[in-house]
Structure 1
Amino acid sequence: MKKGGRPLPGVNVVIKGTQLTTVNTTATATWRDAYVAINRANNVLSALDKVDEGKRDKIEGEARFIRGSLYFELVRAYARTWGDGDNNTNPGVPLVLTPTRGVTDDDYKSRNPVSEVYAQVIQDLTEAAKLLPASNTIYATSGAAYAQLARVYLQQGDYAGARDAADKVIQSGEYTLASAFSDLFFTYLNNGGASPKEYIFSMVVTPQDGSSDLNTFYGVTVGSIPGTAGRGDMRVQQAHLDLYEAGDARGAFFVRANNNTYTEKHLDLFGNVPVVRLAEMYLTRAEANLRLGTAVGATPAADVNKIRSRAGLAPLSAVTLTDVLKERKLELMFEGLQVHDQKRLKETRGGIAYNSPRLILPIPQREMDTNKKLVQNQGY
């Protein structure tokens, strides 16, 4: 997986230049890099018989985790969201499941339907969850695969699936909430490059790797904090700051620089990228339980209050769906989930509807020129 995805248009931020074209470098690089990584995973999966038997399950699980996760990102970025029209006919992305070692006409694939891409994602992640160990240093674990499955099921509106996958992660005992919200970030500056136990899966960044795109776009150089950097593209508006209750530690996790406000989550030049963390699983379980009228693992209020308590807020005696979604937004803002939540919740934000073509990346022009079987997305 690529370190730090390029941020898509979101909410409560000012974005410079949101009009994309088919030659947009972000759309092109994201597609290219994802398929390069998928091809590497396919090569590994095709050669498992050459792997020591004692390591085979782990290697296969890691490759399936990467492939499944990347196809999930691709179908969410380059196709209409699940449930926007017919999933069986809406074009997704090409599914390439065998190594590409030379390019012939047979290697030019058409776009598989959204439903088929999701089915492949679920198959890969389900197998990865069975094959991966509970602990695996900086690499994917069974918990990481279940966490990704929770995201997939939530995006589909399969609340039972999302609830149960999130519950497996929580009940595993492998991950713990950080005691303070501020402990979750500045992993290089304050934590020696190690990710906190709340991170279920993260992308490690080192001085040899260079910074992540999250730092580039969300970060900014703050003179009083050595080691900070970034272009400062994502400026936080007052409308977002006003959402936090008095005393919410998350509402204080911002910095003023160059007469603008920025999140502190991605100031660390070499900070690890939190792909998915435990707080999200509590909020996913809470939302799914609430929608289903169940209390698997815990009541929705108990799960929400774990997150509120860490933020320094008083517990709620009962929660509504609005409460859960607000906590999800405030807890996970600036971590790459907002645009996908907007789509699954069918919301209009900033005047942009959930199914607007502006929230779907174009198929890169270089791919369209090469592969005549591809069809372009609406609006490009």
Structure 2
Amino acid sequence: MRFLNKTMLTVLAIGLLAVNCDSLLDTEPAQSIDGSIALETEANVLTVLNGAYDGFSDDDMFGGQIQMEADLMANDNSDPELRWVGTFEEPEQIWRKQILLENTQVSQTWTESYDAINRANNVLSALDVIEDAATRTQVEAEAKFIRGVSYFYLVQFFGKPFSDGNAASNPGVPLVLTPTTGIDETSNVSRNTVAEVYAQVLSDLTDAEAGLPASNGGYATSHAAAAFLSRVYLQQGNYAGARDAANRVISSGAFSLTATYVGAFNNAENSTEDVFAIQVDAQDGAHSLNTFFAHPDAGGRGDITISPTHLALYEAGDERIDAMRSDSTATEKWDDFTANIPVIRLAEMYLTRAEANQRLTTVVGATPLADINTIRARVGLPALLTVDVDAILAERKLELAFEGQILHDLRRTQQNIGSFAYDANETVWPIPQREMDVNSNLTQNPGYTGN
């Protein structure tokens, strides 16, 4: 449909506000203009949808911090594979799993996620102004994609894992499905259960897959929705659902593995492997993975270093080592500040299909062994003769290293996170203190001081 950078979005937003203020100057203060007025034309709705994408790609979301924070959280601090060596206190709290209620990175992830959700809700509330049915269907699907993925990550960070068996009673996050136009008593929403949030995520992403096109420039596609569905189903232990969603992406033929592993990263345009990637350019400047992972020689801070414990996991000849600096202290996956950020790659779909087929003793699309050997062949490793779930998970860990997936894989497979159980209180983020202060209906997560 359309792709607008942050500068253009700001211009459009100011222009939209100015038009509305000029026309209503004598009747209504600018700060209280009714949302229905601001969204009375298709052009305005599309502007808000672009704004939702903009928030979705913010550095506090998929511009890098969601991925980075998950990787820091996944570490065994007694023998870490990643070390936080930077001076910022908030990421170090996450790395040590000693998060304070005032942690700004945690609160920003919460705030930016709900901001993207609210923008999506505004779009969904104004679909009637879009006359063309096909356009209306696609816009609805894009808004639901943004909302569904945002809720998926909120519930993973702020709720217990689905796999702990108490999803129907464990508190997740509040489900807000209509626009928030002001703050009053009705804004004091309670937390929905983990199961309720997952149900909404599945509903949104299922609708998104059905309504999105297969190709959509830098925006969400039906394949991207299917890929996220595969992640959601994996978290639920619904291996048939995960397998089938991943297989839809692979069998579409729309993607292919890049010739080399390093070729999947640091690209100004989506690679052949990118099922969904955040579009970054010099004007956007939102690339926290570069900021924190990249060595200063590549424009980063070098705050996260790779330890020998992680390097020892690679087989001799594994070309994934080529994505490390020559001194092996940092990854080079995120060296280009202006490159797109791969969020889901085709390689993950092969790994998901392999794991699900292996667990179910099925052969949908390919055998688990064939899928794993496809991944291994690309990085110069010999084919395996046999495979099991542990081997698939080990391959997944290395293939997706530093991309924000390890924490979620540990939790869904009920593996300890260092000295902590997979569902320990320390592995769940606290509800931000400022949210607790203004909403008496919120309950704090166990292990943290609050309501």
Paired AA for residue 375 in structure 2? I
Instruction: After the TM superposition, list the runs of 4 or more consecutive aligned residues in structure 1 that deviate by more than 3 angstroms.
Output: none
- For 1:137-156, list aligned pairs within 5 A: 137-156=217-236
Match of 2:402 among 334, 338, 341: 334
Mapped partners of 1:58, 1:52: distance in 2: 12
- Specify the alignment match of 1:14 in structure 2: 83
| Correspondence 1:132 to 2:215 | no
Mapped partners of 1:366, 1:166: distance in 2: 39
- Specify the alignment match of 2:275 in structure 1: 200
- Specify the alignment match of 2:320 in structure 1: 250
1:252 is displaced (CA, Å) by 2.9
1:175 is displaced (CA, Å) by 1.0
Instruction: Look up the SS of the partner of 1:263 in the other structure.
Output: coil
Match of 1:114 among 177, 191, 194: 194
Paired AA for residue 68 in structure 1? G
1:10 is displaced (CA, Å) by 2.2
Instruction: Look up the SS of the partner of 1:262 in the other structure.
Output: coil
Instruction: Look up the SS of the partner of 1:315 in the other structure.
Output: coil
Mapped partners of 2:264, 2:434: distance in 1: 39
1:52 is displaced (CA, Å) by 3.5
Structure 1: stretches of 5+ with no match in the other structure: 188-192, 223-227
1:217 is displaced (CA, Å) by 1.6
- Specify the alignment match of 1:225 in structure 2: none
Mapped partners of 2:125, 2:286: distance in 1: 32
Match of 1:39 among 118, 126, 133: 118
Q: Contact between 1:305 and 1:316, CA under 8 Å: does it hold in 2?
A: yes
Match of 1:269 among 325, 330, 337: 337
| Correspondence 1:212 to 2:287 | yes
Mapped partners of 2:434, 2:293: distance in 1: 28
1:251 is displaced (CA, Å) by 2.1
Mapped partners of 1:328, 1:291: distance in 2: 15
Mapped partners of 2:150, 2:207: distance in 1: 15
- For 1:339-358, list aligned pairs within 5 A: 339-358=407-426
Q: Contact between 2:163 and 2:414, CA under 8 Å: does it hold in 1?
A: no
Instruction: Look up the SS of the partner of 2:441 in the other structure.
Output: coil
Instruction: Look up the SS of the partner of 1:264 in the other structure.
Output: coil
1:93 is displaced (CA, Å) by 0.1
- For 1:1-380, list aligned pairs within 5 A: 1=56, 2=61, 3-6=63-66, 7-8=69-70, 9-11=73-75, 12-16=81-85, 17-18=92-93, 19-53=98-132, 54-187=134-267, 193-222=268-297, 228-256=298-326, 261-380=329-448
Mapped partners of 1:133, 1:252: distance in 2: 35
1:57 is displaced (CA, Å) by 1.3
1:349 is displaced (CA, Å) by 3.4
1:361 is displaced (CA, Å) by 1.2
1:15 is displaced (CA, Å) by 2.5
1:250 is displaced (CA, Å) by 0.4
1:248 is displaced (CA, Å) by 0.5
- Specify the alignment match of 2:36 in structure 1: none
Q: Contact between 1:93 and 1:113, CA under 8 Å: does it hold in 2?
A: yes
Mapped partners of 1:357, 1:264: distance in 2: 33
Q: Contact between 2:246 and 2:350, CA under 8 Å: does it hold in 1?
A: yes
Give deviations 1:110-138, integer Å, cap 9, x for gaps.
00000000000000000000000000000
Paired AA for residue 74 in structure 2? G
1:273 is displaced (CA, Å) by 1.3
Mapped partners of 2:306, 2:250: distance in 1: 32
Paired AA for residue 200 in structure 1? V
Paired AA for residue 348 in structure 1? N
Paired AA for residue 322 in structure 2? A
Structure 2: stretches of 5+ with no match in the other structure: 1-55, 76-80, 86-91
Give deviations 1:20-79, integer Å, cap 9, x for gaps.
111100111000000011000000001111124131111111100000000000000101
Mapped partners of 1:95, 1:71: distance in 2: 8
1:85 is displaced (CA, Å) by 4.3
Mapped partners of 1:331, 1:107: distance in 2: 42
RMSD: 1.2
Compute the TM-score of the two structures, normalised by the length of structure 1: 0.94
1:318 is displaced (CA, Å) by 1.8
Q: Contact between 2:227 and 2:249, CA under 8 Å: does it hold in 1?
A: yes
Mapped partners of 2:205, 2:343: distance in 1: 15
Instruction: Look up the SS of the partner of 1:33 in the other structure.
Output: helix
Q: Contact between 1:221 and 1:267, CA under 8 Å: does it hold in 2?
A: no
1:211 is displaced (CA, Å) by 3.5
Question: Once structures 1 and 2 are overlaid, which stretch shifts more, 30-39 or 311-320?
Answer: 311-320
Aligned length: 368
Instruction: Look up the SS of the partner of 2:65 in the other structure.
Output: coil
Mapped partners of 2:385, 2:418: distance in 1: 32
Paired AA for residue 130 in structure 2? V
1:297 is displaced (CA, Å) by 0.3
Mapped partners of 1:46, 1:348: distance in 2: 43
Compute the TM-score of the two structures, normalised by the length of structure 2: 0.80
Mapped partners of 2:358, 2:292: distance in 1: 35
Paired AA for residue 319 in structure 1? V
Mapped partners of 1:52, 1:280: distance in 2: 38
Paired AA for residue 170 in structure 2? N
